[in-house]
Structure 1
């Protein structure tokens, strides 16, 4: 069997007839999976139950089946209100399918790299138009680890009540099905390989777009700082006018239960796993259109059609850059005798800030 063209049963993605039991992004995902049934290797890695419908948690993968091949994972929709992150990944998946019809270089690329998509981690929250999942849990604060020092009140994660925002879940309880599914996908598809990248798309913080990486629980710097600094340098050199702030999340604030901290800490120490969070700055959209403040959807997403198109155009280059970086990993990953120099440069660039 051609590894780029696995067999998928299209009946699994039949249209939903009850409009009240679905939403636009979910139907768009199913349409892409159906259109790409000859290209994508599709799995349901869990199922989310709500008061009305149930939603499978889909992943779609394409490319090399070699377990040693580098891989990139693209994730979105962890927070149900942040639809633009899911839309960005769906836009990239759709474009990928069209490019496969003519792009010979893409076919060559996919012979040596694996792409993994999980664009809708929290379909129950997106269906209900809530940040949290159907149990009221903020999935981005649902991992068991605690921050090493003070976190922002409530926003850093709280265990008081699911009726308050940023609820981590009940202490000692198993992780939510969505969180566990994401971490299993990371374990099976990404961190098990010698080299992998992950990009998790969010929105809602600040006027600028940011790329954050572990840690969120501590101001200590990650073990793979030289590799992350090399990636940052490549991004600046190949896209010199990019507008991303690239830094550890702890430079902004600490929080409990960050999923990517957990995934990074549980990756094999001899593998290079570099997870990042793309935080799209929604305050800029609000400044340009203040009426969005009165819409729960508008606080986290562009509303006007031309701004949505601009966001999708602007960040597609980043996703393509990460795919190329994974493909070319042997060319830029620092050798042992260079890591110390990069460690010093990275530490000077990202020196931990003093706790407030």
Structure 2
């Protein structure tokens, strides 16, 4: 295999490599292969792909970058698709799905004329490994012991699930929220900076945050997680769900608000959704892909003996199947963002779709 140092590197990647000795490279290959794969991929990316370091996570052995990748139109009026992976360090498959889609996109950019035309009408920003420290240490939280998905300054309206909904008892227990009132964790601040730079003022924006570890099915969750009442833009979520199901009627995703399962404190996407839609006339829809890891365990029960086995497919054929099975949905989101004017509900449709959404998802709480 070609060593990274022998490639013609993107300047940002090159700067990172200059600061690493051979021991650090060995550690990364062993404990964070996703970052190594991402760097090799970006080193050979086309010139029009912009790469920068959104933040860094210092550990005793190595300093880990949080890479940000920007592709597509630089016009500030085009819609945005934001893709995030690796928020929870144990859920490596989230980063791997984002990187797999990025790899496919970069190859297609070399020959796909239709894709080139599409990229002139949309901007894509990716943070494939938001929590590199947690992935390196093989733990759910970041190196400070904070669960990044419980770390935003927002409090559940209602009784949250014990521990799972966020706790401040100890950073040694899972789902520790930290002290978001003082400041969110550095990884979340890096993501917040990207959100504030890219989303407000846009006519339309979508985000997809890739996770695993809940249930038997792949689920698409949307806000809110902190309350059981519907979000303000619920009609737009229903419209997106309908065009997805019409275009891909044989899909296996379940669309639903996270609050149907449990309430949480400090949900990142609740926080960003309220921030963006409070300051913008456009529409922002944050989605979370929750890959159903219980299926992988049912088919391979011995995965329970390995910590990674709780959240990731370990059998090679299942791993490959998961990496390819979500590419269509992400492609759909890219096209839906670029063509948002064709399906976003107009004023007379919005009332009807909002009522349909409330009947579909909130009948028991309305």
TM-score (norm 2): 0.92
User: Does 1:64 pair with 2:76?
Assistant: no
User: Does 1:239 pair with 2:242?
Assistant: no
Conserved? CA contact 1:159–1:169, under 8 Å: yes
User: Does 1:11 pair with 2:22?
Assistant: no
Pairwise CA distance, 1:102: 0.8
Conserved? CA contact 2:273–2:284, under 8 Å: yes
Pairwise CA distance, 1:353: 4.3
Q: Deviations over 1:25-56 (max 9, x none)?
A: 01011111111151311121111112321111
Pairwise CA distance, 1:171: 5.9
Structure 1 counterpart of 2:203: 194
The one of 279, 300, 307 equivalent to 2:311 is 300
Conserved? CA contact 2:211–2:289, under 8 Å: yes
Distance in 1 (CA, whole Å) between partners of 2:143 and 2:216 is 29
Deviates more, 1:138-147 or 1:189-198: 189-198
* Stretches of 4+ aligned residues off by more than 4 angstroms: 7-10, 352-355
Conserved? CA contact 1:70–1:193, under 8 Å: yes
Question: Do the aligned partners of residues 104 and 342 (structure 1) sit closer, same or farther apart at CA in structure 2, a change above 3 Å counting?
Answer: same
Structure 1 counterpart of 2:362: 351
Conserved? CA contact 1:13–1:33, under 8 Å: no
The one of 155, 162, 172 equivalent to 2:171 is 162
Matches within 5 A, 1:48-127: 48-127=57-136
Pairwise CA distance, 1:241: 0.9
User: Does 1:45 pair with 2:48?
Assistant: no
Pairwise CA distance, 1:191: 3.6
State how many pairs are aligned. Answer: 349
Q: Answer 1 or 2: which has greater helix percent.
A: 2
Distance in 2 (CA, whole Å) between partners of 1:161 and 1:52 is 25
Q: Deviations over 1:256-303 (max 9, x none)?
A: 000000000000241200000000000000000000011100000000
Structure 1 counterpart of 2:335: 324
Unaligned runs of 5+ in 2: 1-9
TM-score (norm 1): 0.95
Conserved? CA contact 2:208–2:286, under 8 Å: yes
| Local SS of the residue matching 1:56 | strand
| Local SS of the residue matching 2:172 | coil
Conserved? CA contact 1:137–1:168, under 8 Å: yes
Conserved? CA contact 1:73–1:190, under 8 Å: no
Unaligned runs of 5+ in 1: 1-6
